[in-house]
Structure 1
Amino acid sequence: MKADSVTLLAEATSGDDPIVSLGATVELRRELERLEAVLVRRARTQGRTWTRIAAALGISKQAVHRKYGGRGLFRNQE
């Protein structure tokens, strides 16, 4: 999904119809989760540590490793 699609979804969350806004919120959340996973994978591929990634996400190293560490592409050790 492109950035302009994310922008449109974000704008749709403040519409007059709460059902439409809820649907947009669900889609936006899915897209942001996908984007986060892509960026974590990119960071690991570039050699960034779990500690640094966790700091960028504002969560613990254990939390980020638990969420993304079990995936084959993230098996690099610090």
Structure 2
Amino acid sequence: MLEFANLPNATEPADALAAVVALRRVADTLERRAVAHALGDGWTWAQIAEALGVSRQAAHKRLAPLVS
């Protein structure tokens, strides 16, 4: 797990912004894999949406094309 203290300092914008991009890519990959696994385990889009804190429609619209 990443420790906040180990993240690049925001006073170095190039390093900090590169870290933001990398973290987004990791988060997106983790989300897609978790959703695919949840669907494989029989979860509904409503359950996935609740776990992600979004509406069922939003979760399905954004993620269904990525995991199908």
RMSD over aligned Cα, in angstroms? 2.2
TM-score (norm: length of structure 1) = 0.73
TM-score (norm 2): 0.82
Q: 1:30-45 counterparts in 2 under 5 A?
A: 30-45=25-40
Separation in structure 2 between the aligned mates of residue 72 and residue 58 of structure 1, nearest angstrom: 19
Structure 1: unaligned runs, 5 residues or longer: 74-78
**Counterpart code for 1:53:** I
Identity %: 36
Mind listing any 5+ residue stretches in structure 2 that lack a counterpart? none
Q: Deviations over 1:2-51 (max 9, x none)?
A: x4xxx1798324x1412101100110011101100100000000000000
Count of residue pairs the alignment pairs up: 67
Instruction: From the superposition, tell whether residues 59 and 72 of structure 1 become closer, same or farther in structure 2 (CA, over 3 Å).
Output: closer
Give per-residue Cα distances to partners, 1:52-78, cap 9 Å, x unaligned: 0000000010011111223463xxxxx
